[in-house]
Amino acid sequence: MSSNAPGATNPMLYDPIPEGQGSTTKRNQFVAALGICMAAVSGGTALAWTSPVLAQLVPANQSDTSGLEHESFLLTTDEGSWVGAFLAVGAFLGALPAGYLAEKIGRKYTTMSLAVPYLISWALIIFANGAGMLYAGRLIIGIATGASCVVAPMFVSEVAETSIRGALGAFFQLHLTVGILFVYAVGSYTHWVTLSILCAIFPVLLIVAMFIVPESPVYLVKKGRRIDAGVALKWFWGPNADTQSALQTIQSDLDAASGDAKLSDLFTNATNRAALFISLLLMFFQQFSGINAVIFYTAPIFKSAGSTMDPAVCSIVVGIVQVVMTLASSVLIDKAGRRILLLQSSFIMGSCLIVLGVYFKLQNDKVDVSNIGWLPLASVVLFIISFSLGFGPIPWMMMGELCAPDIKGLASALAVMFNWTLVFLVTKSFGTMQELLGSDWTFWFFGAWMMVCTVYVFIKVPETKGKTNAQIQAILGGKK
């Protein structure tokens, strides 16, 4: 590298720390994760936006628009469903290019660039004069959200020390839930245009944060910029960090990989195939936990339990529970481990879904359920707690942990595309399932998948707590 290369004269290059004797600080790793996850907060606001907004734009009775005369335009029920669904379509389209860009221009600049489609989409939504502009805005914000789901977990996993990788990995889901709670709390009491303006603040914060956060050391080493990688590590891990050992570990992981990955490498290499397959199945079980069905049914379940709370308040309560328990997960994940949290999550969620199915079956059969009105309410709260501790954050975090450096971008993109395909299918088919199967069998359907999930996690999903990438690849390759 030339003498005028970035960091070439940086005093931190001349590492005075004897190899193996350094000490690290965690502060900047948390600062970096917080900044990177402004992309997740932005995605969370996009996800939840339709909840309060469609109530303002779609009349409950299509022939009765009383109370909505002040709106410049209204949507039909079908148009409203597409406003929701276009986000999933955009997220599918945004995942693969994000993985490619992260390998070409880096994690830092790819993350920063996500603010552009977020801001464009909010501008289209704020100035919308009909369904067409909302469709365009939701498609573009979906692209940004899908890209965020690829790049942010990857970036965070590459800057975190092994000892706190799980805690920081849970930050992505935590910040998604923060964005969701923001929309629930603000959107319930403000006009949808005002809400959209406020949501546009988070992409601006993302740009500001990315000016501060250095590039991923893994990416820099991969590009042959070892000096810059050492400087970045000093920023993330503190001035007394043993960067030489850390850089050697990164280089060893990269050397063990096959260089720039091709799509075929994901399937022809047994270790890569195992990492991809586990990532895809964790995403599958996340969506087939029925989380969207339970969230959709929250207000009716609260009502059936005898609650007189406003539906908006119900949503806020759910949002608070998600944030608090996802935060708890970030604390527990490096202490308890990934497997035990996934196992409790799938088993408890499956049990709660079965109980909800039984309750609705009794209710449909005209059985008096007034004396157990607390049961569905307790089931929903326990379900959301269990999801937030396990299958909410962990699939995103493990996606970044399981994959070797050379396939991480491509594999993460495929996992995210698969996840959003499932979001689209489950969301669009939920109403049809209710009509054809009834509420009871719909909940039992998702409950059955959670029982299958419990068995799969117990048999196939490895524990990654405290393990380096090389150790994880060895386990996936069948070596102990």
Q: If we measure between CA atoms, which residue out of 166, 203, 173 comes closest to residue 339?
A: 166
- Same domain, yes or no: 441 and 347: yes
Q: Give how far Cα 42 sits from Cα of 171, 182, 388, Å.
A: 13, 10, 19
How many CB atoms lie under 10 A from the CB of residue 231? 23
- Assigned domain for 309 exists: yes
Q: What is the pLDDT of residue 399?
A: 83
Phi, psi of 269, rounded to the nearest 5 degrees: -90, 125
- Among 197, 213, 229, the domain boundary falls at 213
- Assigned domain for 164 exists: yes
Q: If we measure between CA atoms, which residue out of 383, 98, 127, 108 comes closest to residue 223?
A: 108
How open is the CA angle 178-189-137, to the nearest 5 degrees?
65
Q: If we measure between CA atoms, which residue out of 322, 33, 49, 47 comes closest to residue 206?
A: 33
Cα(24)–Cα(324) distance, rounded to whole angstroms?
Answer: 28
Three-state DSSP at 253 gives helix
How open is the CA angle 222-224-226, to the nearest 5 degrees?
100
- Same domain, yes or no: 118 and 179: yes
According to DSSP, residue 372 is labeled G
Q: If we measure between CA atoms, which residue out of 139, 405, 178, 143 comes closest to residue 271?
A: 405
- Same domain, yes or no: 270 and 200: no
Phi, psi of 64, rounded to the nearest 5 degrees: -125, 110
Cα(347)–Cα(386) distance, rounded to whole angstroms?
Answer: 9
- Same domain, yes or no: 153 and 289: no
How many CB atoms lie under 10 A from the CB of residue 429? 12
- Same domain, yes or no: 392 and 452: yes
- Assigned domain for 248 exists: no
- Among 151, 186, 213, the domain boundary falls at 213
**Is 144 within 8 Å of 151 (Cβ atoms)?**
no
Three-state DSSP at 366 gives coil
- Same domain, yes or no: 201 and 281: no
**Is 245 within 8 Å of 390 (Cβ atoms)?**
no
**Is 443 within 8 Å of 360 (Cβ atoms)?**
yes
Phi, psi of 465, rounded to the nearest 5 degrees: -60, 125
How open is the CA angle 212-91-283, to the nearest 5 degrees?
95
- Same domain, yes or no: 193 and 286: no
Q: What is the pLDDT of residue 69?
A: 60
- Same domain, yes or no: 119 and 207: yes
**Six-digit token string for 467:** 């393990």
- Same domain, yes or no: 306 and 434: yes
Cβ neighbours for 154, distance < 8 A, ≥ 6 positions apart = 102, 107, 400, 408, 409, 412
- Same domain, yes or no: 327 and 419: yes
For 412-444, the three-class secondary structure string (H helix, E strand, C coil) is HHHHHHHHHHHHHHHHHHHHHHHHHHHHHHHHH
Per-10-residue mean pLDDT of the chain, 480 residues long, equals: 43 52 79 94 92 81 60 81 87 89 92 97 95 95 93 89 82 90 90 96 96 93 90 89 84 71 75 90 94 73 68 83 89 86 96 91 82 81 92 86 80 87 82 81 94 95 85 80
**Six-digit token string for 361:** 């079956």
Cβ neighbours for 190, distance < 8 A, ≥ 6 positions apart = 198
Q: Give how far Cα 430 sits from Cα of 151, 290, 292, 346, 437, Å.
A: 29, 9, 9, 20, 10
Phi, psi of 97, rounded to the nearest 5 degrees: -60, -35
- Assigned domain for 194 exists: yes
How many CB atoms lie under 10 A from the CB of residue 256? 15
Q: Which domain holds residue 289?
A: 265-479
**Is 145 within 8 Å of 94 (Cβ atoms)?**
yes
How open is the CA angle 266-267-272, to the nearest 5 degrees?
50
Domain count within the chain: 2
- Same domain, yes or no: 204 and 324: no
What is the greatest pairwise CA distance in the chain? 81
Q: Give how far Cα 346 sits from Cα of 147, 342, 398, Å.
A: 27, 6, 16
- Assigned domain for 347 exists: yes
- Assigned domain for 298 exists: yes
* CA pseudo-torsion sign 268, 220, 470, 461: negative
Whole-model pTM? 0.82
Cα(176)–Cα(182) distance, rounded to whole angstroms?
Answer: 10
Cα(425)–Cα(91) distance, rounded to whole angstroms?
Answer: 13
How many CB atoms lie under 10 A from the CB of residue 53? 23
- Assigned domain for 446 exists: yes
Beta bridge partners of 61: 64
Q: Could you tell me the CATH number of the domain that includes residue 173? A: 1.20.1250.20
- Among 213, 228, 254, the domain boundary falls at 213
- Assigned domain for 8 exists: no
Q: What is the pLDDT of residue 258?
A: 56
Torsion, CA 372, CA 376, CA 377, CA 382, rounded to 10: 120
- Same domain, yes or no: 448 and 311: yes
**Is 207 within 8 Å of 115 (Cβ atoms)?**
yes
